[in-house]
Amino acid sequence: MNPPQQYKTDQQLHVLPQVAAPSLHARSPSIPAALPMSPDEICESAANLLFLDLKWAETIPHFASLSRNDQLLMLESNWKDLFIFGVIQYLPVMDLTVLIERSDAFKSEKAAEFVKHVQEYQELVLRAKELSLDPNEFFYLRLVAFFRAGHTSRDITKKLEDEQFVQAFASSAQTSLIKYVVITRPDDQLRISKIFQLLSKIQLIPPDVMTALFFQAYVGKIPIADIIKN
């Protein structure tokens, strides 16, 4: 499906506002050792990062042109993906042991499943940092992850008022990402497949696992999607 004419070119994608780096931690080109941050410091950094992710979404003209209903649906469905990309790009590797152990999910009958998902998340973050994604790759990945819900999630697709526009822009952003990687990393023929594998793995992490791990101290058992809606 071709994107709408007014959003068709790579040049128009490039002029979208770039993601402003949160003033939390400087991004290092190498994989840092896990920092001894306190649980409260980790949760505060996570909350700040989520807030910045949501504010970033509001700066995208293509998102702003959607109805309020579509905007809320996309934020509710995709906040977790934006948050994880933010963690990968801006936060250091962290020791999450204390957060895991103090989570209500760790004390429940589904503790083993919760720990398994957290381990998958931690492995994902480490592998992503090894890729050393540049700011433009992160920018395009955010766009793809944020808009592709229109054709990867049946539930949200049924409710979107402008499904065709969302699908078209996701396809356009994905094409631009591929072109950018091919041009800037011509010797790394596997890079684009690794990037999309990363995206797929991020989408498999349950949102409630991220909520239980990072935001329980702030929101309790209230889903982040409900907070966004209100």
| Residue range 32-71, pLDDT digits in tens | 344 557 888 888 889 888 989 888 988 898 898 999 989 9
Q: How many domains in the chain?
A: 1
pLDDT of residue 9: 33
> What is the per-residue burial (b if ≥16 Cβ within 10 Å, else e) of 115-153?
bebbeebbebbeebbeeebeebbbbbbbbbbbbbbbbeb
Is 24 inside any structural domain? no
What sign does the CA torsion over 143, 144, 145, 149 have?
A: positive
Residue 29, pLDDT > 60, answer no
Predicted confidence band of residue 12 (pLDDT cuts 50, 70, 90): very low
| Residue range 61-88, pLDDT digits in tens | 889 899 998 998 899 889 999 999 999 9
pLDDT of residue 62: 87
Alpha carbon distance 222, 230 (integer Å) = 12
Percent of the chain topping pLDDT 70: 80
146 vs 22 pLDDT, higher one:
146
Q: Residue 117 contacts by C-beta under 8 Å, 6 or more apart in sequence?
A: 205, 206, 209
Is 14 inside any structural domain? no
pLDDT of residue 15: 35
Is 81 inside any structural domain? yes
User: 15-24, 151-160, 173-182, 193-202: which range is least confident on average?
Assistant: 15-24
66 vs 18 pLDDT, higher one:
66
pLDDT of residue 186: 94
CA distance from start to end of the chain: 34
* CA 51 from centroid of its chain's CA atoms: 12
Alpha carbon distance 168, 148 (integer Å) = 9
pLDDT of residue 4: 31
Is 12 inside any structural domain? no
| Residue range 107-159, pLDDT digits in tens | 888 889 999 999 999 999 999 999 999 999 999 999 999 987 544 444 554 57
Is 149 inside any structural domain? yes
In this prediction, residues 208-226 reach a mean pLDDT of 83
Q: What does pLDDT average to over the chain?
A: 79
In this prediction, residues 194-218 reach a mean pLDDT of 91
Is 21 inside any structural domain? no
- Residue 168 belongs to what domain range? 39-228
pLDDT of residue 230: 66
What amino acid is encoded at 96 in this protein? L
pLDDT of residue 25: 30
In this prediction, residues 197-209 reach a mean pLDDT of 93
Is 72 inside any structural domain? yes
CATH, residue 89? 1.10.565.10
Is 11 inside any structural domain? no
What amino acid is encoded at 29 in this protein? P
What sign does the CA torsion over 125, 134, 4, 17 have?
A: positive
Alpha carbon distance 223, 203 (integer Å) = 17
Predicted confidence band of residue 28 (pLDDT cuts 50, 70, 90): very low
